[in-house]
Amino acid sequence: MEHYFSENPNTKSERKKIKYTIENKTFEFITDNGVFSKGKVDSGTDLMLKTFIKDKKFKKKEKMNVLDIGCGYGTVSVILKSFYPFLHMTLSDVNERALKLSEENLKNHNIKGYEIIKSSVFDNISGNFDIILSNPPIRAGKEIIFSIYEGAYEHLNLNGEFYCVIRTKHGAKSTQKKMEQIFGNCETEKIDGGYRVYKSIKKIK
Ligand SMILES: C[S@@+](CC[C@H](N)C(=O)[O-])C[C@H]1O[C@@H](n2cnc3c(N)ncnc32)[C@H](O)[C@@H]1O
């Protein structure tokens, strides 16, 4: 059976445009078969973005490296770059169709200052980041999602932040426990619509 996290989705391409509004701004994304949440921006992703935008008060033009791990068709990066153009985004995914769509969506929004890497988890990611965001691929299994959390800790700078959104019913508690175990802290930033947004900070242990 083919999943949205196949490396090379074989399902016939059926591209379409979807609209997404956040903070009174409307964005258009190209999506396709074989990628996550092709019909509309996922409600979990929407909650994580809204929480992040409310939370984050950047000092103007702060140079920060941000990783959008498991980027899908690029929603998180397009939105963050539109609100905070000074961020440098790195996008990664295993799904090649998703990566191509991400690039197209970034270009269609005239976004500059990003890098796209094909990688399973952190296999091909070498840099360190100030912020990492994930709507993890639950269907890929616990081993994969836990290695995203572990890799996030390894690849964050000191005081760097890891944001994660997960459906309450899809193992939110075990994610919270794992993040606490790895980082020594995990705050519940938001609970809404059956999702939880967690944040862990890399501190000196
Ligand atoms: C829940 S989706 C989130 C997509 C996108 N960030 C969004 O919010 O719409 C999880 C993403 O993780 C990707 N993924 C699955 N397994 C992965 C792995 N081993 N390493 C990196 N990404 C993976 C999937 O292809 C998918 O795009």
Q: Compute φ and ψ for 161, nearest 5 degrees.
A: -120, 140
**pLDDT tens, residue by residue, 137-191:** 999 999 999 999 999 999 999 999 999 999 999 889 999 999 999 999 999 999 9
Counting ligand 1 atoms within 8 A of each CB, the residue from 94, 118, 144, 155 with the most, and so the one to mutate, is 94
Ligand 1 neighbourhood includes 32 CB (under 6 angstroms): no
Q: What is the pLDDT of residue 95?
A: 96
Q: Indicate which atom in ligand 1 lies nearest the CA of residue 95.
A: 25
Residues 6+ positions from 134 with CB-CB distance below 8 Å: 69, 70, 148, 152, 162, 163, 164, 165
Name the token pair of 5: 């996290």
**Is the model's pTM score more than 0.85?**
yes
When the pLDDT of each residue in the chain is averaged and rounded to a whole number, the result is: 94
Q: How far apart are CA 91 and CA 95, in angstroms?
A: 12
Q: For the segment 96-121, what is each residue's pLDDT rounded down to a tens digit? A: 999 999 999 999 999 999 999 999 99
The alpha-helical segments, DSSP class H, found in the chain are 43-55, 75-83, 96-108, 142-154, 172-183
Q: What is the pLDDT of residue 5?
A: 63
Domains in the chain, CATH or no CATH each: 16-201 (3.40.50.150)
Q: Which atom of ligand 1 is the closest one to the Cα of 42?
A: 9
Whether 48 is in the pocket of ligand 1, judged by its Cβ within 6 Å, is no
